Amino acid sequence: MNKRIEKLRKQSQEAVPRISAERALLITEFYQSSLSRRVSVPVRRALAFKHILENKSLCINEGELIVGERGPAPKAVPTYPEITLHSIHDLEVLDSRPKVWFRVDEETKQIYRDKIIPFWEGQSNRDKIFASMNKEWKAAYEAGVFTEFQEQRAPGHTVLGNKMFRKGFLDLKAEIAVAVDRLDFFNDSKAYAKREELKAMDIAADAIIAFAKRYAAALKKRAGEETNPGRKAELLKMVAICERVPAHAPQTFHEALQHYWFIHLGVITEVNPWDSFNPGRLDQHLFPFYKKEIDEGSLTQETAKELLEAFWVKFNNHPAPPKIGVTAKESSTYTDFALINLGGVKADGSDAVNSLSYLILDVIEEMRILQPGSMIQVSKKNPDRFIKRAARIIRTGFGQPSVFNSDAIVQELLRQGKSLEDARNGGASGCVETGAFGTESYILTGYFNLPKVFEITLNNGTDPVTGKKIGLKTGNPAEFTTFENMMAAFQKQLQYFIDLKIKGNNLIDRIIAENIPVPFLSLVIDDCIANGKDYNDGGARYNTSYIQGVGLGTLTDVLTSVKYNVFDQKKYTLNELLEAALRDFEGDEVLRNDLLNHTPKYGNDDDYADEQAVLIFNLFYESVNGRPTTKGGYFRINMLPTTSHVYFGSVVGASLDGRKAGKPLSEGISPFQGADRKGPSAVIRSAAKIDHLKTGGTLLNQKFNPSLLDDEKGLDALVALIRTYFRMDGHHIQFNVVTADTLRDAQKHPENHKDLIVRVAGYSDYFNDLGEELQNEIIRRTEHSGF
């Protein structure tokens, strides 16, 4: 890392996260204008976007090579009052909470008091959503049966495809003109809506071009003042780049990065979409530029690396927008989940690993920074060398890059009906979510608390934590004479809550489609222009909505415990177990020891336990998969938690696997913390028993003692372990290479471990930034060590 990057990286890491009221002011100003009231909703959104980009402050940091910030400075985070309106109390909480805080100054609060709150109160999308949900939905939501992703943030979740590395926004404007020409006002009842949407896209395209030109002008001014001739030349080069992109397709490596960055800023300024935005298959998109310039001699490997590192810093400058309430609990992190994909296969199915893939791995290793996240796609066609190079980074213990199975991803996408080429151009984003990059709207709608549904089943529809009846009366547990009986009741209860969730999603989809179209995002995702339809209204080629199952390991262990201790061994009655759980096992050490240490557990390749994982998985799958959305797409499942397993655990009482009340659930498809005792090869076999190809992503976490990877043999073994898991269709695996002792020490002496980064669930985070319960959860994960 050279001096410049070192400085930029340091600036980024030391920047203090704070709330900026700039965007809130600008959008409020626009919505109050008479122009806003004269136009259709999509056009209003586009004009608001334009108004923000025309007036927001620009930021050029010292020594930067890629320019553009969402806020006025690094980590100055805007708000989106049209989506979520923060109260003064919310702002105070954001400012004062111990983790994932954002500084809020008095001036910001004053602006909120005087201008933002009076205008938006009761009008935000969040208000509209909660006003539309019925009391059953609210009861389930409040009990922590599921969360709602769209309550504070706009959908998004998507990833850029290759198109935008070959096109400029002027090209898109030409496409829009063609689409407008083709509108059939005689036979198409949607022609007006399409025209308004296309008009909005056209305005958004102009807005981003003008925004780049503002940067060009600012850079030119800066160049005029610059006394250092080297920097002056750089600034002038950047002026030329910002005059060219994103209006035109990029022609150089540097242009391609700046071009993408403008698009990124556009997407995260228009709304506050989940998972920010993502360039996706970066080594594929950039390779033509890289190769051409390296061959011509106009770019060196060193310069390319410097530019990539400058690009990395830009991601790190952008924490996730502030989250509050349940959303803050389910996703308690600054990370905003841009996930760089490397490797995999090309559209023609051949090995996609290239020299740039390796260079980017060097960048990841050198930067050792939270954002962007990174992953390698591993196909059977990729060489072991590629995995081993990544393994050398993984063993340094900051949880990056994570490892995905390309061949499984392609099959998952094909199963959902994507074309073979679109599937091969896809990958994973966010934590582990499968998507057809550049052509799909695939949104997460909320986490779903599987153990909670079973807890409610065992209480005949009542939530034992609150005593409220929130589910169906599916029978008194005393009447469950067989395991199958009990599971039939669970299935009914599950279907009831899934139906509630899906009904809610279908309402929320409409609220968003009608109130928050995203003409800018729609420009860059196919086929919104051709369809004349917004990304949030089914304009994309493919539309998928996910419900994310949480607590598979915990519920597997709970069901296995009942099957083993109650029905098979008859060691305890169901009632005895329920009563002990109600007491949180106070005074039941022997019983709890039986549950913890003498009952089969998921994660040990023991079919007796793993059968329940398959059973739960299949029930969950059947209840969700293939049901229609309002956007012409389908509901699917995936299995990931971010940090919701901690929140969900906090609302579930003591469970029949011996877990104490309020403690975190298992995460992803990983075994419950400490339950896997037969090493990593047994874990991957247990995890592979569910059919990953029926999902849009599963998440498996493994904690390795660093000694397991300290020599070549250990690295080779890791490569073999990954290959083995992937031969069994495993979707994704990631590793925390750290000792529990280190983590315990970090908990006691955070000041000595400021740079300790750990893998949480689908992303990495500073250990110090995690809540205590999550820290404990990671410490308790089984640490596989060498034998």
Which of 16-24, 191-199, 453-461, 672-680 is the region at the interface with another protein (rule: CB under 8 A)? Answer: 672-680
Mask for 608-637, x = binds another protein (CB under 8 A): ------------------------------
- Residue from 247, 353, 356, 596 touching another protein (CB under 8 A): that is 596
Nearer to another protein, 468 or 727 (CB): 727
Q: Binding of another protein at residue 186 (CB under 8 A)?
A: no
Q: Binding of another protein at residue 682 (CB under 8 A)?
A: yes
Give the DSSP H or E segment for 405: strand 402-405
Nearer to another protein, 54 or 607 (CB): 607
Distances from the Cα of 435 to the Cα of 167, 194, 405, 442, 701, angstroms? 21, 26, 13, 7, 21
Mask for 726-765, x = binds another protein (CB under 8 A): -xx-------------------------------------
User: From the CB of 732, what's the least distance to another protein, in Å?
Assistant: 18
Nearer to another protein, 148 or 657 (CB): 657
Nearer to another protein, 586 or 741 (CB): 586
- Residue from 427, 680, 696, 697 touching another protein (CB under 8 A): that is 680
Provide the pairing of β-strand 634-638 with 542-550. parallel
**The token pair that represents 120 in the structure block:** 């938006």
Q: Which of 9, 7, 760, 697 is nearest to 364 (CA)?
A: 9
Give the per-residue SS3 of 631-683.
CCCEEEEEECCCCHHHHHHHCCCCCCCCCCCCCCCCCCCCCCCCCCCCCHHHH
User: From the CB of 786, what's the least distance to another protein, in Å?
Assistant: 6
**Catalytic site residue 242?**
no
Distances from the Cα of 334 to the Cα of 24, 28, 371, angstroms? 20, 26, 9
Q: Binding of another protein at residue 662 (CB under 8 A)?
A: no
- Write b or e for each residue in 680-691: b if 16 or more Cβ atoms lie within 10 A of its Cβ, otherwise e: bebbbbbbbbbe
Q: Which of the residues 431, 455, 667, 783 is marked catalytic?
A: 431
In the chain, the amino acid numbered 19 is I
Q: Binding of another protein at residue 181 (CB under 8 A)?
A: no
Of residues 549-588, those binding another protein (CB under 8 A): 585-586
Q: Binding of another protein at residue 681 (CB under 8 A)?
A: yes
| No. of helices (H) and no. of strands (E), the chain | 33, 17
User: From the CB of 770, what's the least distance to another protein, in Å?
Assistant: 25
Q: Binding of another protein at residue 83 (CB under 8 A)?
A: no
**The token pair that represents 572 in the structure block:** 């305890």
- Residue from 589, 748, 749, 751 touching another protein (CB under 8 A): that is 589
Q: What is d(CA 420, CA 542) in angstroms, rounded to the nearest whole number?
A: 13
Q: What is d(CA 705, CA 744) in angstroms, rounded to the nearest whole number?
A: 14
- Write b or e for each residue in 5-35: b if 16 or more Cβ atoms lie within 10 A of its Cβ, otherwise e: beebbebbbebebbbbbbbbbbbbbbbeeee
**Catalytic site residue 431?**
yes
Mask for 523-542, x = binds another protein (CB under 8 A): --------------------
Give the DSSP H or E segment for 376: strand 373-378
Of residues 474-493, those binding another protein (CB under 8 A): none
User: 481, 537 in Cβ contact below 8 A?
Assistant: no
Number of residues that bind another protein (CB under 8 A): 30
Q: Binding of another protein at residue 674 (CB under 8 A)?
A: no
The 8-class DSSP code of residue 349 comes to S
Nearer to another protein, 368 or 723 (CB): 723
Nearer to another protein, 563 or 784 (CB): 784
Q: Binding of another protein at residue 787 (CB under 8 A)?
A: yes
H helical segments located in 112-190: 117-120, 125-132, 135-143, 169-181
Q: What is d(CA 641, CA 471) in angstroms, rounded to the nearest whole number?
A: 23
Nearer to another protein, 291 or 678 (CB): 678
Q: Binding of another protein at residue 776 (CB under 8 A)?
A: no
- Residue from 63, 714, 750, 771 touching another protein (CB under 8 A): that is 714
* Length of the chain in terms of residues written: 787
Rg of the chain over all Cα atoms, to the nearest angstrom = 26
Q: Could you count the other beta carbons within 10 Å of the beta carbon of residue 39?
A: 16
- Residue from 196, 440, 534, 605 touching another protein (CB under 8 A): that is 605
Residues near 12 by beta carbon (within 8 Å), at least 6 away in sequence: 74, 75, 313, 316, 317, 369
Q: Could you count the other beta carbons within 10 Å of the beta carbon of residue 106?
A: 7
Nearer to another protein, 126 or 685 (CB): 685
Q: Binding of another protein at residue 721 (CB under 8 A)?
A: yes
Nearer to another protein, 257 or 577 (CB): 577
Q: Is 646 left (phi over 0), alpha (psi -120 to 50) or beta?
A: alpha
User: From the CB of 413, what's the least distance to another protein, in Å?
Assistant: 24
Nearer to another protein, 335 or 702 (CB): 702
Which of 32-40, 244-252, 457-465, 708-716 is the region at the interface with another protein (rule: CB under 8 A)? Answer: 708-716
Which of 114-122, 611-619, 706-714, 756-764 is the region at the interface with another protein (rule: CB under 8 A)? Answer: 706-714
User: From the CB of 655, what's the least distance to another protein, in Å?
Assistant: 15
CA of residue 180 relative to chain centroid, distance: 35
Nearer to another protein, 251 or 705 (CB): 705
Q: Which of the residues 270, 309, 433, 440 is marked catalytic?
A: 433
Q: Binding of another protein at residue 713 (CB under 8 A)?
A: yes
- Residue from 107, 467, 590, 751 touching another protein (CB under 8 A): that is 590
Q: Scan for tokens 């695996």, then name that residue.
A: 733
User: From the CB of 376, what's the least distance to another protein, in Å?
Assistant: 17
Of residues 12-41, those binding another protein (CB under 8 A): none
Footprint on this chain of another protein (rule: CB under 8 A):
585-586, 589-590, 592-593, 596-597, 605, 678-682, 685, 708, 713-714, 716-717, 719-721, 723-724, 727-728, 784, 786-787
> Known catalytic residues?
431, 433
